Amino acid sequence: MLTELRVKNLALIEEEDILFDHGLNILTGETGAGKSIILGALSLALGQKADRGMLRDETKEALVEATFTVNEREKQALMQLDLEAYEDQVILTRKIGKERTVARINGETVPAPRLKQAGAILLDIYGQKEHQSLLSVKKHMELVDDYARKELASLLPEIRESYGEYKALIKEQSEANLDEGEREREKSFLELEISQIRDAQLKDGEDEALEEQYRRMANGQKIQQALSLSENLLNCDGGCLEQLGRSIRELHAVSEYDGKIAQIAAALSDAESIALDAARDLENLSDDMAYDPAAFEEIRQRLDLINTLKSKFGPQITDVLHALEEKEEKLSRLCDYDHYLADLEKRVIKATGELEELCKKATSIRQKAAGELSEKVREALLSLNFLQVSFEVELTRGDYTEKGWDQGQFMISVNPGEPIRPLVQIASGGEMSRIMLALKTVLAGQDDTQTMIFDEIDSGISGRTAQAVGKMLSSVAREHQVILITHLPQIAARSNRHFLIEKEAEGESTVSSIRPLDEEGVLKELSRMLGGDELTRAVYDNARELRARAKEE
């Protein structure tokens, strides 16, 4: 549930902190007061692309922060995104500056798309034009699956996996249809590649060791010069070792007079021992590092061979060796081609049968869900002031997909005597809006999402239809938090919490503010919505009666 929305330095808003409640939260105000800015701010908190033109003061950052309390389902879904709630809370934050934007979840910086993923779990937004999505038949099946979500939850991943195996086998089968000439050419080519890899006798990690040797030998002259100079500095007349020995002897001669001198002499003796060991190591290394042109050329040729194979078969030796296994297997199939084709056919038949059974299960679930959804949507549409309505989900069998073979569309008749026809062909814009509201209401009963947001769903309706829509939203708000922008008093009268958005001039700028209304404030706002600016006793009494009737229902 959305509990708090903080907005700062965004468009017409300087700074607002909105505390939402359970039930039906209504937002009203004059046209242009800034109602859309509130939902725009929430969309930014959910990862929508930021428009820096929305900064009220370009010298300061804009801030949007949405705080949610989460239930167990939401916690589990968030954990799959590697997100964790703290004390049953999730805070989505978006900072928008002139140069960059920053997204955070519970204080941790995340990419903006992660906000979208979290937001999809935490709330459902019904925009002004969402009903237009019903013009796409694909959307119809998505809504059916939303209704059957719990029953399909474990089955759809199985279908997806089975479909992937089926598609891979079908592709292999289509590529396996080679005539005898093509097979012989393919065999010859495979034998050549296999021979190249086998003859190389590659060993994992060999290239790295050879490259190290190559670098060392390629810089052999420089290394030899450094080793020779170091040996000379240590061993020559007057060198480091001779100077250390002389210093030690001098100090030993006077060490009996001062204990500290004895300590220094002992330390120099240790240094002399280390230097002697280093001198021997340098001598041995110098012998080992003797440049051998033949060995260097052998390493170079070996590296050329390895790199050629890596460029053809993979970036690493392990990839080349894996390619060898695949090519040997493919050659084996070509050598016993009839047996391979027969085995492939069996595997295709088996995979098809397994996919078929899974698709049948999905169809059975969808048919049951379609029947229930049809009846519930029909009842919801009748309650939304349709005089007579028939509504069905038509399911047909199509090709295999990762969701099964089902295709479907909504069929509807809204007038007596009219045959039932595809929804996309007959419903008007106003009817589409009510149909989508009915679907959302029905799906809300199947959904664990706590918060539903509706942006001016009352567009194009009035009178009894508006009253019916308000009644339906009140019903949804008994089980969900509903946040709604509306222009209709019949809907606003049903609020559990009512916010008024106002715009006023401050000096040379305009500011939008939002405040919760007490009961008297609600009645005044309903009066404004009913009668305009002139607040008469009759209008006020009408508002009070509307509010009282809404509370009784």
Over residues 491-506, the mean pLDDT reads 88
Measured CA to CA in angstroms, residue 57 lies from 7, 12, 48, 65, 443 at distances of 13, 10, 20, 18, 42
Q: How far apart are CA 471 and CA 384, in angstroms?
A: 9
Confidence class for position 56, pLDDT limits 50, 70, 90 = confident
Over residues 371-399, the mean pLDDT reads 89
Over residues 264-285, the mean pLDDT reads 81
Q: Say yes or no to pLDDT of 502 above 80.
A: yes
pLDDT at 299: 86
| Half-sphere CA count of 413, side-chain side, radius 13 A | 9
Over residues 254-263, the mean pLDDT reads 81
Over residues 247-252, the mean pLDDT reads 81
Residue 551 near residue 543, CB atoms below 8 Å: no
Over residues 160-169, the mean pLDDT reads 95
* Higher pLDDT among residues 528 and 449, named by residue: 528
What tokens were used for 552? 């009784």
Measured CA to CA in angstroms, residue 431 lies from 394, 415, 474, 528 at distances of 19, 12, 20, 28
Q: How far apart are CA 125 and CA 119, in angstroms?
A: 10
Over residues 235-245, the mean pLDDT reads 76
Q: How far apart are CA 13 and CA 443, in angstroms?
A: 34
Percent of the chain with pLDDT over 90: 23
Over residues 356-379, the mean pLDDT reads 94
pLDDT at 287: 65
Number of Cβ within a 10 Å radius of residue 117: 18
Q: Which tens digits make up the pLDDT trace of 323-366?
A: 988 888 878 777 777 788 888 899 999 999 999 999 999 999 99
pLDDT at 533: 67
pTM over 0.95: no
Task: Choose among 93, 18, 8: nearest CA to 55.
Answer: 8
What tokens were used for 258? 């001062």
Q: How far apart are CA 505 and CA 49, in angstroms?
A: 29
Q: How far apart are CA 194 and CA 334, in angstroms?
A: 14
φ/ψ of residue 396, rounded to 5: -135, 165
CA 93 to chain centroid, in Å, comes to 17
Residue 391 near residue 374, CB atoms below 8 Å: yes
* Higher pLDDT among residues 292 and 495, named by residue: 495
Q: Which of 104-113, 136-145, 189-198, 431-440 has the lowest mean pLDDT?
A: 431-440
Q: Which of 34-48, 80-94, 346-360 has the lowest mean pLDDT?
A: 34-48
Task: Choose among 84, 83, 87: nearest CA to 113.
Answer: 83
Give the DSSP H/E element, type plus range, for residue 42: helix 35-45
Going by the DSSP 8-state scheme, the letter that residue 53 receives in this structure is: G
Give the DSSP H/E element, type plus range, for residue 405: strand 404-413
Q: Say yes or no to pLDDT of 180 above 70.
A: no
Q: Which tens digits make up the pLDDT trace of 418-446?
A: 888 898 887 566 677 778 888 888 887 77
Q: Say yes or no to pLDDT of 233 above 80.
A: no
Domains of the chain: 1-128+456-553 (3.40.50.300), 184-335 (no CATH)
pLDDT at 160: 96
Number of Cβ within a 10 Å radius of residue 254: 11
Three-class secondary structure of residue 20 per DSSP: coil
∠ CA 48-126-115, rounded to 5°: 30
Over residues 64-69, the mean pLDDT reads 92
What tokens were used for 93? 């934050």
CA 394 to chain centroid, in Å, comes to 32
Mean pLDDT score of the chain: 84
Measured CA to CA in angstroms, residue 102 lies from 11, 431, 477 at distances of 18, 41, 33
Q: Which tens digits make up the pLDDT trace of 201-222?
A: 998 888 888 888 887 777 666 7
Task: Choose among 189, 21, 33: nearest CA to 514.
Answer: 33
Q: Which tens digits make up the pLDDT trace of 95-135?
A: 988 878 888 999 888 888 888 888 888 887 776 566 677 77
Q: Using DSSP, how many helices (H) and how many strands (E) does the chain show?
A: 20, 15
pLDDT at 151: 92
Confidence class for position 255, pLDDT limits 50, 70, 90 = confident
Q: How far apart are CA 6 and CA 143, in angstroms?
A: 33
Residue 530 near residue 546, CB atoms below 8 Å: yes
The CA dihedral of 208, 211, 215, 217, to the nearest 10 degrees, is 120
Residue 471 near residue 498, CB atoms below 8 Å: no
Q: How far apart are CA 16 and CA 63, in angstroms?
A: 10
φ/ψ of residue 331, rounded to 5: -65, -40
pLDDT at 409: 92
pLDDT at 152: 93
∠ CA 13-14-18, rounded to 5°: 65
pLDDT at 220: 64
pLDDT at 374: 93
- Whether the CA torsion 331, 333, 338, 341 is positive or negative: it is negative
